[in-house]
A and B are shown apart, each in its own frame.
Chain A
Amino acid sequence: MSNQRQASSASQVPHLSPAELSYLYTSLSLPKNPIRPDGRSPTQFRPLSAETTILPGTNGSARIGFADGTQAIVGVKAEVEKTVLAADTLDSRSLAQHGDALNREGEEGSAAVSGQGEWVQMSIEIPGYRDDDALPIFLGEMMRESLVGSVENKEEMAGGLKARLVINKRWHWRLYIDVLLLSQPLSYPLPLLSLTTHLALLSTKLPKLKSTGEEDPFFDDDWAAAEYLYPRSKPSSGPFHPVRPPVTILVVSVGENIIFDPNREEISVADAVLAISITRSHDSDALKLLSIRSIDPPSRLTQSGIPNSENVNMIGSTPAENPSQEEVSGVWRPRRGGVKRSVVARMIKTVLGKGGVGEEVLEGLEGVEVH
């Protein structure tokens, strides 16, 4: 039943005593240099091992394992599907066939050109959770919205992933992204799943199209000729800004400090938790923000400690303090309320800034060999 209560919320209940939580909070909120349980610096990520194209039956796949033993596999499959415009769309194309001098607002059949977000489907499986529990659905929507929300203006990827899935006006690709967490969710699984999805999409190939224009699609059956979903042709001139799938980074604030990639213990004392999705901008070195979502900090589910002054067993042994005192040092009390706007701005800036964490993560992912 405790499992079921966990599942009703998108965050996991921490299994630490108030004393442990207080110790963790104090060491993580030390001004300027927090001490993390595993000795990392605030912006350092956990070491991981990654490989791509591990599943021969998929269009693209990847596996990432963290050093703590959590592992995830992502498989991407693509299907050709007929494009159907929504029934309630005022389709200006069919109206125009009547020879009426309609002003064709927008481009002709813009739905067929720009693609639809529904063509990307994502399913997440986490052991111990049902597929309609809050956590998998929340994570899935979070990763999907940044995937389909990234709109590039570059020639080979104009319109972003959605437009890349368009074959012609009548046909499109449908992309199924299946995320499988192989281990128990020891920490909040978002960074692991997002990085694995990134690599799987990078390695995704679609068969080369042989038909042209509005013909029914017909593909080259040589898999070696297949093209990458995210193209990687280098331009002959100018700086190279590859189009890349977005990455979602988990950021927590503890006291004055901002800490990246928290493990399970660290996230359980966080004051605020944000998931920030970024990608490379198409025309400069800068990073682009795609989405921010706040995540319910698990500290709100914890039990607060009882100071000696209020403890019945300790009456007489401690000097009576003012009972209305809110904060007693060394006694765990989960933070109430929300987060200040300045803290949110600082968290975003640390991710997006020049030489910030976002660049570091994307550079690290570039280092993974994609076949």
Chain B
Amino acid sequence: MADRRRINGPPGGTRPPVYASLQESTTGAAQRAQRQRQPAELRKIFLQTGMIPTASGSSYLEFEPSASLAAARANPKSLIPPSSALKVACTVHGPKPLPRSAAFSPNLVLTTHVKYAPFAARKRRGHIRDASERDLGVHLETALRGAIIAERWPKSGLEITLTIIEAEDDRWWGDAPDSHDASWGLMNVLAGCITAASAAIADAHIDCLDLVSGGVAALVSDESNSASSIPRLMLDVDPAEHRSILSACVVAYMPARDEITEIWLKGDSSRAALEKGDDRSSHEALIDGAVDAARGANTVLSEAVRESITRSIAQA
């Protein structure tokens, strides 16, 4: 499904040259980013609502850049950034009446639209949504539909549009894909999208059961020989900081009800080693880890929503 209406840039993307001497040098231009955080420590989140005045609700979310990315920005040694940090803008339009031609719906009709900006990832994205973006949209819809009290708006529609301004990498840019390679960056993007969309929905004053937030946990192995090493559980992983990710899980979680509205787990989690005395299976540990990460994101989310309410009261 090629986009034939526009003149597009090359599909493969281009990259600045990397010289072999650069590899060797100790300047660290081609050095893998290292995780500086504790296994259970989350990245800081910037979340603000009401940035887009024409929408009924909007939010902007940004993850803290990793330590190596911050260092590379302050003191650039190479044209290639070592990792990337998520930036998402979310707008909510509605609730508004469904078009005349639409069939009757007793509930609020939710439409989610996730789109990467063409410049969001290292490889250029087209203007038409591809399969992974549509897939993300379905995941997001599942996550939000569980939280919104839809029967309060019959015959109405709600459009949620997310633009990914900067996406997470799937792996370190210099790595060739290994056997555990998959689109791990998508999972972080989904978690960010859930939190951002939840803030925007609250900003639009749509009734929800609770603020739903997203969290990611993953089993990672940092040894070069992945067969012998024992994978460890980490929260809120940046795929660029790890040699290989074996399995990851995203949840959308509502803390007040202790319920999960969306779960997406993938990868082989059978070889994980948990702490002694922990008799959970590894997939349960992954889900619990993701819920912990979502709880962390929820503190930021509730603070952002409080700001949004204060602002709307001040305006009234």
Does A234 touch B at the CB level, under 8 Å? no
Contact A301 B268 (CB under 8 A): no
Asked whether any CB of chain A lies closer than 8 Å to the CB of B67, the reply is no
Bound complex: CA of A300 vs CA of B146, how far in Å?
8
Among A155-163, A184-192, A210-218, A224-232, the stretch in contact with B: A155-163
Are A289 and B288 touching (Cβ within 8 A)? no
| Known pairs A137-B138, A303-B106, A344-B260; A88 contacts B176 (CB<8 A) | no
Question: Given A88-B122, A288-B268, A294-B264, is A149 in contact with B182 using a C-beta cutoff of 8 Å?
Answer: yes
A303 to B174: give the CA distance in the assembly, Å: 52
Is A151's CB within 8 Å of the partner chain B? yes
Partner of A294, one of B142, B269, B291: B142
Q: Are A292 and B1 in contact (CB under 8 A)?
A: no
> Chain A 318-352 against B: per-residue CB contact (8 Å), 1 yes, 0 no?
00000000000000000011111100110010000
Could you tell me the distance in whole angstroms from the C-beta of B83 to the nearest C-beta in chain A? 13
Q: Is the CB of A145 within 8 A of B182?
A: yes
Which of B1, B30, B175, B252 has most chain A Cβ within 10 Å? B175
Instruction: Tell whether A290 pairs with B263 under 8 Å between CB atoms, given A1-B102, A337-B147.
Output: no
- Return the contact of A295 from the options B122, B142, B179 (Cβ within 8 A): B142
With both beta carbons as reference points, the residue of chain B lying nearest to A2 in the complex is identified as B103
Asked whether A293 and B263 contact (CB < 8 A) given A85-B176, A91-B176, the answer is yes
Cβ-closest chain B residue relative to A117:
B182
Q: How far is the CB of B231 from chain A (nearest CB, A)?
A: 12
The answer on a CB contact under 8 Å between A274 and B263 is: yes
Give how many A residues have a beta carbon under 8 Å from the other chain's beta carbons.
70
Residue in A86, A115, A288 whose Cβ sees the most chain B Cβ within 10 Å: A86
Question: Is B275 interfacial (CB-CB < 8 Å)?
Answer: no
Whether A294 contacts B135 by the Cβ 8 Å rule is no
Listed stretches A27-35, A106-114, A257-265; interface member: A106-114
Smallest distance from the beta carbon of A308 to chain B beta carbons, Å?
18
Q: Tell me whether B254 and A338 are in contact (CB under 8 A).
A: yes
Given A90-B18, A149-B266, A292-B263; A106-B134 close (CB under 8 Å): no
Pick the residue among B142, B149, B260 that contacts A341 (CB under 8 A).
B260
- Bitwise, A343-365 to B at CB < 8 A (1) or not (0) is 01100100000000000000000
Bound form: Cα–Cα A102–B265 in Å: 37
Interface centre among A90, A109, A274, A291, by most chain B C-beta atoms within 10 angstroms, is: A90
Cβ A105 vs Cβ B267 within 8 A: no
Tier of interface size on chain B: 35 or more
Contact A89 B107 (CB under 8 A): no
A153 proximal to B (CB < 8 A): yes
Stretch at the interface among A4-12, A38-46, A174-182, A193-201: A4-12
Instruction: Determine whether B3 belongs to the interface, using a CB cutoff of 8 Å to chain A.
Output: no
Q: Does B235 contact A (CB under 8 A)?
A: no
User: Is A58 in contact with chain B by the CB < 8 A criterion?
Assistant: no
B224 and A106 contacting across the interface, CB-CB below 8 Å: yes
Minimum C-beta distance from A322 to chain B (A): 19
Give the distance in Å from the alpha carbon of A151 to the alpha carbon of B247 in the complex. 11
- Chain A residues within 8 Å of B173, by CB: 88-90
Decide: A87 and B13 in contact? CB cutoff 8 A. yes
Chain A residues near B142 (CB-CB < 8 A): 10, 294-296
Q: Given A87-B13, A106-B178, are A337 and B254 also a contact pair (CB < 8 Å)? A: yes
Which of B105, B252, B253, B267 gathers most chain A CB within 10 Å?
A: B267
Q: Are B146 and A338 in contact, with the CB atoms below 8 A? A: yes
Q: Which of A88, A138, A160 contacts B135 (CB 8 A)?
A: A138
B109 at the interface (CB under 8 A from A): yes
Is B174 within 8 A of A89, CB to CB? Answer: yes
Task: Determine if A281 and B270 form an interchain contact, defined as CB atoms under 8 angstroms apart.
Answer: yes
- Mark each residue of chain A from 113 to 151: 1 if its CB lies under 8 Å from any CB of chain B, else 0: 011110000000000000010100110110001101111
Beta-carbon nearest neighbor of A87 in chain B? B12
Which residues of chain B have C-beta atoms less than 8 A from A132's C-beta? 1, 134
Q: Given the complex, which residues of B lie within 8 Å of A281, measured CB to CB?
A: 270
A98 at the interface (CB under 8 A from B): yes
Q: Which residues of A contact B107 (CB under 8 A)?
A: 300-301, 303
B176 touches A111 (CB 8 A): yes
User: Is A341's CB under 8 angstroms from B291's CB?
Assistant: yes
Tell me, in angstroms, the Cα distance from A134 to B1 when the chains sit together. Answer: 16
Residue A315 at the chain B interface, CB threshold 8 Å: no
| Residue of A9, A102, A138, A289 ringed by the most chain B CB atoms within 10 A | A289
Contact for B177 among A116, A145, A345, CB less than 8 A: A116
| CB-based contact A115/B179 at 8 Å | yes
Check A70 for interface membership: any CB of B closer than 8 A.
no
Kindly list chain A residues whose C-beta atoms are within 8 Å of the C-beta of B258: 340-341
Write the nearest CB–CB distance from A320 to chain B, whole angstroms. Answer: 23
Residue B283 CB within 8 A of the other chain: yes
Closest B residue to A95 using CB positions: B20
* Closest residue on chain B to residue A97 by CB atoms: B20
Contacts of B179 in A (CB 8 A): 114-115, 151, 159-160, 162-163
Contacts of B35 in A (CB 8 A): none
| Min CB gap B183→A, angstroms | 8
> Which residue of the partner chain, among A110, A116, A140, contacts B131 with CB atoms under 8 Å?
A140
Task: Assess whether A341 is in contact with B181, with CB atoms less than 8 Å apart.
Answer: no
Name the residue among A148, A149, A159 with the largest chain B CB count within 10 angstroms. A149
A5 to B109, CA, bound (A): 8
**Cβ of A304 under 8 Å from chain B:** yes
A288 vs B272: C-alpha distance in the bound complex, in angstroms? 13
Given A134-B134, A291-B267 in contact, is the A87-B149 Cβ separation under 8 Å? no
A222 is an interface residue with CB less than 8 A from chain B? no
Task: With CB as the reference atom, state the residue of chain A lying closest to B263.
Answer: A294
Q: A369 near B: Cβ within 8 Å? A: no
A115–B260 CA distance with the chains assembled, in angstroms: 34
The 6 nearest A-B residue pairs measured at CB? A90-B174, A338-B261, A111-B176, A338-B259, A303-B106, A2-B103
With A151-B179, A293-B139 already in contact, 12 other A-B pairs whose C-beta atoms are closer than 8 Å: A87-B15, A134-B134, A138-B134, A151-B268, A153-B227, A160-B179, A289-B270, A294-B260, A295-B142, A337-B261, A338-B147, A338-B257
Offer 10 A-B interface pairs, CB within 8 angstroms, sorted by A. A10-B138, A114-B181, A141-B132, A292-B263, A293-B264, A296-B138, A296-B142, A300-B146, A337-B209, A341-B287
